[in-house]
Structure 1
């Protein structure tokens, strides 16, 4: 480490010993003092600061495969995070009494009131509609959650402002059949499915609210789903064991209906089809579930009407819910187990099953934030499950972050 001494030791002439065979005591003492002061009892000139490499015995051999670390599996709880006891929830599998809006408020239709639960602050509110209209048969938030559509047993339909509880608009017609299902096509156009099998689009901005008529079901329409991406195709399931796929670009007058208006009529189910849901990322994929005499979950290509897969779930399929962030499907069932089953798509292998309801699970609704699912059952309870994988929050990238220098 001493460059002056190193130069001298390499270039200087070595001095011969006086007697030619042994050094004098003074020379030995001087050499020892030189070693202590200059070399500091070290024979190394260069010092290594980094650790030495591992010996060859510690390195993996070519005949030993390197095992990758196993991915930590997601833990799915077997018990609900919260339980709401709701008195007055009707035990009817053709009704739609649960909906979770984009405002993070869960609407629950009871026999004579609408129960609102705000998930953000865990507050509750009860909307008391006008009496003598019969039990509530369906509730549905508009896409912007400005109004809540509520259908009654006497065929009336009301749009309610959730902030004030007042009626914004509505429709009263005693000659119409009761409403079983609702689906918003936009913030102003509402699709209504009735007990007599009729499906009608209404635009509440117009004096004559009627837009078009869908003729095909022979009995009550208990499920309606618009395509998420395009908003053009409508899927409907009914008590007549049929599933229809409609095209909104084929409007039909109520006074001059076509004999055949649907794009595809699916008649493979052998029981009531109330469980219908679309894939949030693939608009041409539809899932449907059969009732107590069917037990099957089927997948359809809405372009050509072909059946892609059919799985026997083992019991009545009351509701379907697709995960928005992952390829998973949640189904709710009736007796004997009244369970929730989580499936992995497209393999349709059971990921998990949870058993906590004492009666059949009538409806499912997913949180707009992802992760949490609410299930309403005939045991008059609504249970919240953290069953879907919570999406990771991605921080927005700063503008021009890919540039190091901006001139």
Structure 2
């Protein structure tokens, strides 16, 4: 091959090499803004030669270098930035990004940062206080309930009063005779117009609040006072001091349809789950039972699904979680002071928090993942917890005696509390719901025959 051919071949290789380098530079400047590409132009060849020859010899044979030369070498290294350890180098800095379009409103909607939710203000004082004379100071009773029609019922001694939250008007529903009183429990039916009233003599009365008249009396189930009530559509569940739990079908004359036996002492807490499938009961025997209708309906003995024995004091406070159907919160009395969380499918205790004081009542927020607890000795406070971290968000004080009863407004924002200091307080604890949903009207059919049954 002659010299001309060699020169031609060398030129072609050089052109192709420069062409390739030019393409890489072009591509890196336009397309590969997120990568570093090795480039010899970024290398300091003098520094590399120094490190590979004189610098290496100085490190390997320090004895042959005079002190004066060593001092000179250090000064030179500092001046020329030779105290580096790397020889190979890449580009010093990546190219600055080219902003072709202004930043605002350029990102897809699903990539845009969500606006930070403002921190909710929780008032530290009650927004209203009402007198509640003759309120029975008894931990085991349930004397306060807020119905779906926005009317609060409270039992004071032998009398049941109704407070209409829409216009702040108060009316008297009924005063019970001394022989059968006092009133030991109240609970609104789902329709918000019919109310059940438990009595000290073991009877339960059903009233129509709109017509202000008694519809019927349920007898023969209990042998002592009825301190707890819970509706499940047309089934009214009652819990007595005798330890029995009775399901009453209010549509029929022979109203007792099931009896649950598991508690050895007074049943002071009853709550049906939102699905109406499971019932939680708490008693003065420190026990919590979970009853399942699919299990108990076919069993005459009505065996419980779970028997929860972790509390060490009476359990009155029960609250089903609104956003997780199988999550139940329970609170123990003065000897226990704990809030416990349960998986009611498995019966497992998920968490236990020592609150430091008697837990009288529990309420879940319908808006946020929060839980409100009402306490007795020693601070008589309301505590708002963030779930599931159980970090305290607020502690609200104002009552001078233990907060015995607590009820939540239909919209989920306000909470009413009644305490042994004979006052009724209203708290704006849970804020304002983002979307106000109309309260669904309950089917009035279960109560259509009550007027004819005696």
Bin the TM-score by the shorter chain: 0.7 to 0.9
Structure 2 distance, partners of 1:335, 1:366, is 22
Q: Which of the pair has more CA radius of gyration?
A: 2
Displacement, 1:395?
A: 9.2
The 8 Å contact of residues 411 and 436 in structure 2, kept in 1 or not, is answered as no
Q: Deviations over 1:28-51 (max 9, x none)?
A: xxxxxxxxxxxxxxxxxxxxxxxx
Structure 2 distance, partners of 1:329, 1:343, is 5
Structure 1 distance, partners of 2:433, 2:172, is 31
Structure 2 distance, partners of 1:174, 1:247, is 21
Structure 1 distance, partners of 2:305, 2:199, is 30
Q: Residue 131 of structure 2 aligns with which residue?
A: 85
Displacement, 1:170?
A: 1.3
Q: Residue 213 of structure 1 aligns with which residue?
A: 259
Q: Residue 381 of structure 1 aligns with which residue?
A: 423
Q: Deviations over 1:125-149 (max 9, x none)?
A: 0122341211000000000123110
Displacement, 1:252?
A: 5.7
Displacement, 1:157?
A: 0.8
The 8 Å contact of residues 181 and 192 in structure 1, kept in 2 or not, is answered as yes
Structure 2 distance, partners of 1:335, 1:216, is 29
Q: After the TM superposition, which segments of 4 or more aligned residues of structure 1 sit over 6 Å from their partners? A: none
Structure 2 distance, partners of 1:212, 1:395, is 35
Q: Deviations over 1:148-199 (max 9, x none)?
A: 100111111100111232111112349722101000011x210011101100
The 8 Å contact of residues 132 and 423 in structure 2, kept in 1 or not, is answered as yes
Structure 2 distance, partners of 1:79, 1:147, is 32
| One of 338, 343, 351 as aligned partner of 2:385 | 343
- Whether 1:126 aligns to 2:168 is no
- What TM-score do you get using the length of structure 2 for normalisation? 0.69
Q: Residue 314 of structure 2 aligns with which residue?
A: 272
- Whether 1:233 aligns to 2:278 is yes
Structure 1 distance, partners of 2:269, 2:261, is 15
- What TM-score do you get using the length of structure 1 for normalisation? 0.77
Q: Residue 301 of structure 2 aligns with which residue?
A: 257
- Whether 1:167 aligns to 2:209 is no
| One of 298, 311, 320 as aligned partner of 2:353 | 311
The 8 Å contact of residues 213 and 252 in structure 1, kept in 2 or not, is answered as no
| One of 145, 152, 159 as aligned partner of 2:192 | 145
Displacement, 1:88?
A: 1.1
Displacement, 1:251?
A: 3.5
* 3-state SS of 1:249 partner: helix
Q: Residue 292 of structure 2 aligns with which residue?
A: 247
**Is the helix fraction higher in 1 or 2?**
2
Displacement, 1:204?
A: 1.8
* 3-state SS of 1:274 partner: strand
**Counterparts in 2 of 1:173 and 1:392: CA distance versus 1, 3 Å:** same
Q: Deviations over 1:314-342 (max 9, x none)?
A: 11001000011210000011111100000
Aligned 1:276-355 pairs, distance under 5 A:
276-355=318-397
- Whether 1:100 aligns to 2:146 is yes
Q: Residue 93 of structure 2 aligns with which residue?
A: none
**Counterparts in 2 of 1:128 and 1:73: CA distance versus 1, 3 Å:** same
The 8 Å contact of residues 207 and 214 in structure 2, kept in 1 or not, is answered as yes
Displacement, 1:250?
A: 2.8
Structure 1 distance, partners of 2:273, 2:322, is 8
Q: Deviations over 1:208-249 (max 9, x none)?
A: 111111111111111111110x21111000000000000112
**Counterparts in 2 of 1:120 and 1:69: CA distance versus 1, 3 Å:** closer
Structure 1 distance, partners of 2:316, 2:307, is 15
The 8 Å contact of residues 261 and 301 in structure 2, kept in 1 or not, is answered as yes
The 8 Å contact of residues 295 and 305 in structure 2, kept in 1 or not, is answered as no
Displacement, 1:363?
A: 1.0
Q: Residue 359 of structure 1 aligns with which residue?
A: 401
Structure 2 distance, partners of 1:360, 1:307, is 27
The 8 Å contact of residues 169 and 204 in structure 1, kept in 2 or not, is answered as no
Structure 1 distance, partners of 2:236, 2:114, is 52
**Counterparts in 2 of 1:395 and 1:215: CA distance versus 1, 3 Å:** closer
**Counterparts in 2 of 1:253 and 1:202: CA distance versus 1, 3 Å:** farther
Structure 2 distance, partners of 1:221, 1:287, is 17
Q: Alignment length, in residue pairs?
A: 331
Displacement, 1:71?
A: 4.3
Q: CA RMSD for the aligned pairs?
A: 2.5
Displacement, 1:75?
A: 1.1
Of residues 298-307 and 384-393 in structure 1, the stretch that sits farther from structure 2 once superposed is 384-393
